[in-house]
Amino acid sequence: MRDQHFNGLKTTVLLGGMWALLMLVGAMVAGGTGNSLWLWGFTLFGLATTAWSYWNSASLALRSMNAVEATEAEYPQLHRIVRELAQRAGQPEPTIWIAPTTTPNAFATGRSPKHAAVCCTQGIMQILEERELRAVLGHELMHVYNRDILTSSVAAAMAGVISSVAQAVFFLGGGNRREGGIGAAIGMMLAALAAPFAAMLIQFAISRTREFDADQDGAELTQDPLALASALRKLETVTDHMPMQPTPANQNVAAMMIANPFRGGVMRSLFATHPPMAERIARLEKMAGY
């Protein structure tokens, strides 16, 4: 079963929208200051930030979770499952890590399939049966093999640059008052406030899109969509009772995890980095013919 939701196309459109937003806000800075070098400067800064975060994505994510590499002697089950799935996919086998937290979750990171890592928390090892764990690892491996880390790194870096440019617009927005009057200055400042919000929503939409892809591709790799559905159901139930305590470090990794590790609030659906769990489970059950 191939993608019926055009998630690859959606991701391309969303990233295009992020670039368009960056150029728009950068043009505001250039217009407000009368200097087009601002536009090029922020663009180059965005490219440099993207490259740095992408190249160091694995070490940054693993360090933020205090993860340690899992040896095959300590975790033979994990190594056996990952090796079997990597061979089935015809792809390199990533390194395997364990994060010392009781909140059940897992994530993948790395700049390419040859430089990838899969990390499981101690909590997920305790609540999942082998069939469910295999399904989760299949999901994470497909994040690596689909090169989702590049997509996420680009989106996160661009969102950061847009926020920086928008701040410059806000503080420099009055520079063209003589040309456009107070109304133009107010318009620029309102746009500067709205741009980071729009960039954040686009970034979340990209994350949700990639989760659907990894669910589907991972279920096809393991040939067991119901096992992944069962695992997701357990993860949501346990996380509601044992959420991860948010910190600046783990909040940056949360979007990479297979399930939202934090307890949701009133605005959960709007600002969630993951699709609704019920929708993900329903799609997997449909794959299985339910």
Q: CA of 87: how far to CAs of 46, 84, 151, 215, 220, in Å?
A: 36, 5, 24, 19, 14
Bridge partners (DSSP) of residue 257 are 107
Cβ neighbourhood burial of 248 (10 Å; 0-12, 13-18, 19+): exposed
191 close to 26: Cβ distance less than 8 angstroms: no
Bridge partners (DSSP) of residue 262 are none
Cβ neighbourhood burial of 16 (10 Å; 0-12, 13-18, 19+): exposed
Neighbours of 12 (CB within 10 A): 12
Q: CA of 224: how far to CAs of 8, 151, 209, 219, 235, in Å?
A: 23, 26, 21, 5, 17
Instruction: Select which of 93, 132, 140, 211 is catalytic.
Output: 140
Q: Could you confirm whether 279 is annotated as catalytic?
A: no
| Sign of the alpha-carbon dihedral angle for 251, 232, 234, 104 | negative
Angle at the Cα of 137 from the Cα atoms of 114 and 239, rounded to 5 degrees: 130
Give residues with Cβ within 8 angstroms of 196, minimum separation 6.
159, 162, 163, 166
d(Cα 144, Cα 58) in Å, to the nearest integer? 11
List, in sequence order, the alpha helices (H) in the chain. Answer: 7-33, 37-55, 57-64, 76-89, 122-127, 130-145, 148-172, 177-222, 225-241, 248-254, 268-271, 277-287
> Could you give the residue numbers annotated as active site?
140
